[in-house]
Amino acid sequence: MDRFASLFVRWVGVVFVGLLVGCSGEDSSGGTPHEKLQQLEACSAPVPCDPMLTYAPDDMVDGCLLGSMSTAELAQHRVEGSTTGDERRLWDLFVSTDRSVQVVYREIFNDMDSDWSDPNDYDWTLSACTLRPTSFFDDCLGATPIDDSCLNPDGWIEGCTSLSEVHCP
């Protein structure tokens, strides 16, 4: 094989390998969304409350979780919800004492049998947000009947931006 053909074969091989790596789902800031969730979980932030189910009846609003959010305790929280019969949503919220929150959100459509174990089964969103003011959570804890925004983790946070790198809270 002449020199030109040899260089061409090497170039094609490099481009092919580059395409394979580029299609792996990783980005330049530390891995797939699932790997970023694992990085946050490895931080071992306290888990003061049981996971909250947002499709629970009003009388099952989680006072532990809303109280923890109110005081912006260093914590990791998990919330599972559903808005329709064929959609499941899961939030992992990593709260810092400065009221910043790293949110890992994922959802699955038409797959109520999924156990969330296969990261390829759902769509991911990673966000950096700020907790709403303490008064919001205090109002939720004292409300009868409970307002829908108190049951939805999207209502607990504001000022969200896309998150490319994660860090321990």
**Segment 132-159, tens digit of pLDDT:** 999 999 998 887 777 778 878 888 999 9
- Residue recorded with tokens 């809270």: 169
Q: DSSP characters for 49-68?
A: SPPEETTS-GGG--HHHHHH
Q: What pLDDT, in 10s, does the model give residues 66-87?
A: 889 899 999 999 988 866 666 7
Q: What is the pTM of this model?
A: 0.73
Q: Are residues 126 and 94 in contact, defined by beta-carbon separation less than 8 angstroms?
A: no
Alpha helices, H only, 23-133: 33-41, 63-70
Lowest mean pLDDT among 45-54, 108-117, 130-139, 154-163: 108-117
β pairing state of 157-162 and 87-95: unpaired
% of the chain exceeding 70 in pLDDT: 66
pLDDT at site 23 = 29
Tell me the domain boundaries of the chain: 27-162
What is each CA distance from 75 to 95, 162, 166, in whole angstroms?
5, 21, 15
pLDDT at site 161 = 95
